[in-house]
Amino acid sequence: MTRTHSDCDEFSAGGVVVRHFRGRPFICAVEPRAGVLALPKGHVEPGETPLEAAVREVREETGLSVEPLEEIGDTRYWYTRGGRKVSKRVVFFLCRYRSGALRDYDRSEVLGAQWLPLDEAPERLSYPGERKIAARARELVARQWPQEPCGR
């Protein structure tokens, strides 16, 4: 499903990290700048696969180690940099939390990281494309992990 970045100017990868607390699924969200709630993501480096980039970016931006499970979709958007229109594609992977603590995120990457109830994520994330990714993750989690034990 993952294609190369030849169909866009910039190509990034990210993760939807799922962890259960008290029987409820939560995802990790980051604050890249004040007032913005987003999924962890970043550029795919040369020689790196999108999956490797997603795992690395999650670790850098959240302090968490994860087990990637499957690609769940991508977002595409345009922005302007230096008067030039730039097309960007971000592919996201559903990931299961394995270890780590949110206090261990790289402060040069984001302002903060937090656990967000998965049921609320499609409404609370700042970017429309990421809200759609969160809704897709919610569907997958409901099907794949209907009775996940607490703390996993």
Name the residue type at position 90. Answer: V
Q: How confident is the model at residue 150 (pLDDT cuts 50, 70, 90)?
A: very low
What is the per-residue pLDDT across 8-56, written as a single tens digit (0 to 9) for each? 789 999 999 999 999 899 999 999 999 999 999 999 999 999 999 999 9
pLDDT beyond 80 at 3: no
Higher-pLDDT residue of 7, 120: 120
Query: Cβ(70)–Cβ(110) under 8 Å?
Result: no
Q: pTM of the predicted model, to two decimals?
A: 0.88
Average pLDDT of 94-118? 91
- Residue 87 has, within 13 A of its CA and on its CB side, a CA count of 6
What is the per-residue pLDDT across 110-120, written as a single tens digit (0 to 9) for each? 999 999 999 99
Q: Which element (helix H / strand E) includes 86? A: strand 84-100
Domains of the chain as residue ranges with CATH: 5-144 (3.90.79.10)
Please tell me the distance from the alpha carbon of residue 121 to that of residue 115, in angstroms, as a whole number.
Answer: 10
Please tell me the distance from the alpha carbon of residue 137 to that of residue 118, in angstroms, as a whole number.
Answer: 8
